[in-house]
Every structure is written in C-alpha cells, then in structure tokens.
C-alpha cells in the first residue's frame, strides 16, 4: 500500500524561523508519541499481552484514517503513515535495519513537506532538513542519537547561507558565522559550551570591520574596538567580565553621537 503523496510547493514566500520550527516540533513529537488505539477493524489484532501485531488502521470520529501501518509487539515496523483529520498526510515512516531505523517525511497540512530525516531507535539521527510552508529549505541540522552534532545551517530565501553553527552533544561548540545576503561575513566568533568564547568580529555590509574584541565565557572581556563605516576607530572600551571599565569615555561618546543625530 503506498503511503507517500506527491506534493507541489506553492509560491516561495518565507515565514519566520521560530514559527515554522514551533509547528514542526509539535507535529514531529505527535508523530512519535503514544500510538492511539485503533477501531474495531478485524485487521487490528491485539495479542494476549494487549500488544498490537500486524497491520493496523485507526480512524478519526469523522471516519478518516488517523494512521495505518504495521506493528510488531506494539511498536511501528516496516511502514507507517499518519494523517491529519482532513485526510492530508501528516507523516510517513519507512523502517529498515531490523526496524531500528526509519526514514521520516513530515508534512504540513495540504501535503507541503515540513521536515525529512532519519530516526534511530526513535531519536533523530544523521542529517535533518526543515522547510517552511512554501516548501522552501529553511535550515538543516545534523544529529547523532537524538543530539545535535556537527554543522547547523540557516538559509536566506534564495538558498544562500545566513548562519552556520557548530554543535557538540546539543551544545554550540566551535565556529559561528553569520553572513550578509551578498555572502560576506556579518558576525564571526567561536562558542564553547553554548557560550561565546574567544575573539569576535562584526562587519559592515561593505566588508569593513564594525567592532571586534574578546568574549570570555559568554561576556565581553579585555579591549573592544568600535569603528565607523570607513573602518576608522571611533572608541575603544575596556571590559572586565562584561562590565565597561572606562564608562566616562562611553558616556561622552554616546552624548556626541546623540548630538550628531539631532
């Protein structure tokens, strides 16, 4: 029985990353949550231990199929397809590796792809790709046994990279870079245990440096230089554990900036 449905992406309009991600999380977790008890279809067999065995079909109150698939000892195996109440496909799972692994395709309503990736023992594994409601690739993440490991990328609408993170066991650890749409770097720094740590540099759109300095365990530390659009030094601030030590210079600088704006 086929359980994939062809889809055609609509016009390419990007939605915000947090909104698509929130919906994605809800749908994916509902797909691998507790499997609802099926109806009284004779195909739906429970063994003497009340565990699902063989082919099962469960339906919504309106008669539409909620899920259909194969079970071994109450766990999905071989294949499983879950549906929205209106009949649109919510997710498909193709099992392999003695049913320990599966290839997942998760959909928005109207059968627009939301996410694709692999599970191993019901945990995300390998590369996962996430899409907005227009079918456009928004981000991609690498997982190992349910934890983020490796590079995460977030994309502009035209497919160019907006941001790259390095992850290690669910923590940002390594190089972080953001890019302007022209491909030039916007921000660059390293992370350690989910905090910015080390030298950071921020750029203007023309490629000149906007500011640069050191982070120590997530806070600014040591000397920070701030430049104008031409790369000329405007002010140099001294930080110690995130606190500006030459506050008088900063106040004077801000006063001059405000007068200039008037």
Q: What is the CATH number of the domain that holds 39?
A: 3.90.930
Is 143 inside a domain boundary? Answer: no
- The Cα 81–Cα 61 span in angstroms is 18
Q: Is 66:83 a contact under the CB 8 Å cutoff? A: yes
Q: Does 106 lie in the same domain as 53?
A: yes
pLDDT in tens, 61-88: 999 999 999 999 999 999 999 999 999 9
Q: Does 131 lie in the same domain as 1?
A: yes
| Residue range(s) defining the domain that contains residue 205 | 173-262
pLDDT at 42: 60
Q: Does 110 lie in the same domain as 16?
A: yes
Distances (CA, A) of 201 to 226, 235, 252: 10, 15, 24
Residue length, the chain?
262
Q: Does 180 lie in the same domain as 126?
A: no
Where do we find the tokens 């008890």?
A: 37
Is 212 inside a domain boundary? Answer: yes
Is 100 inside a domain boundary? Answer: yes
pLDDT at 30: 52
pLDDT at 111: 87
Is 226 inside a domain boundary? Answer: yes
Residue (of 118, 120, 163) closest to 138 by Cα position: 163
Picking from 108, 135, 162, the residue at the C-terminal end of a domain is 135
Domain count, the chain: 2
pLDDT in tens, 89-104: 999 999 999 999 999 9
CATH number of domain containing 233: 2.20.110
Q: Does 205 lie in the same domain as 94?
A: no
pLDDT at 255: 86
124/6: higher pLDDT: 124
Q: How confident is the model at residue 38 (pLDDT cuts 50, 70, 90)?
A: very low
Q: Does 119 lie in the same domain as 229?
A: no
Q: Does 200 lie in the same domain as 128?
A: no
Q: Does 183 lie in the same domain as 107?
A: no
Q: Is the pLDDT of residue 39 over 50?
A: no
DSSP the chain: ----------S--PPPHHHHHHHHHHHHHHHTSPPPP--S-TT-EE-TTS-EEEEEEEE-TTS-EEEEEEEETTEEEEEEEEE-TTS-EEEEEEEETTTTEEEEEEE-GGG-EEEEEEEETTEEEEEEEEE-TTS-EEEEEEEETTEE-EEEEEE-TTS-EEEEEEEETTEE-EEEEEE-TTS-EEEEEEEETTEE-EEEEEE-TTS-EEEEEEEETTEEEEEEEEE-TTS-EEEEEEEETTEES-HHHHHHHHHHHHHHH-
CB atoms within 10 A of CB 175: 14
């Amino acid at each position: 029985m086929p359980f994939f449905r062809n889809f055609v992406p609509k016009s390419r309009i990007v939605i915000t990353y947090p909104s698509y991600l929130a919906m994605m999380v809800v749908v994916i977790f509902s797909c691998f949550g507790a499997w609802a008890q099926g109806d009284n279809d004779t195909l739906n067999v429970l063994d003497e231990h009340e565990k699902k065995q063989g082919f099962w079909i469960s339906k919504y109150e309106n008669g539409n199929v909620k899920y259909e698939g194969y079970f071994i000892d109450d766990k999905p195996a071989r294949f499983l397809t879950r549906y929205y109440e209106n009949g649109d496909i919510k997710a498909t799972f193709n099992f392999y590796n003695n049913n320990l692994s599966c290839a997942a395709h998760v959909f928005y309503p109207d059968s627009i792809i939301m996410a694709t990736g692999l599970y191993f023992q019901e945990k995300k594994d390998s590369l996962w790709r996430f899409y907005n409601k227009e079918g456009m690739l928004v981000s991609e993440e690498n997982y190992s046994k349910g934890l983020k490991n490796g590079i995460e990328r977030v994309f502009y609408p035209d497919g160019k990279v907006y941001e790259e993170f390095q992850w290690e066991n669910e923590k940002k650890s390594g190089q972080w870079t953001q890019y302007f749409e022209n491909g030039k770097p916007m921000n660059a720094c390293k992370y350690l245990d989910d905090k910015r740590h080390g030298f950071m540099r921020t750029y203007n759109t023309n490629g000149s440096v906007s500011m640069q300095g050191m982070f120590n365990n997530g806070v600014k530390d040591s000397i920070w230089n701030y430049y104008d659009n031409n790369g000329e030094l405007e002010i140099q601030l001294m930080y110690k554990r995130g606190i500006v030590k030459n506050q008088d210079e900063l106040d004077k600088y801000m006063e001059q900036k405000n007068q200039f704006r008037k």
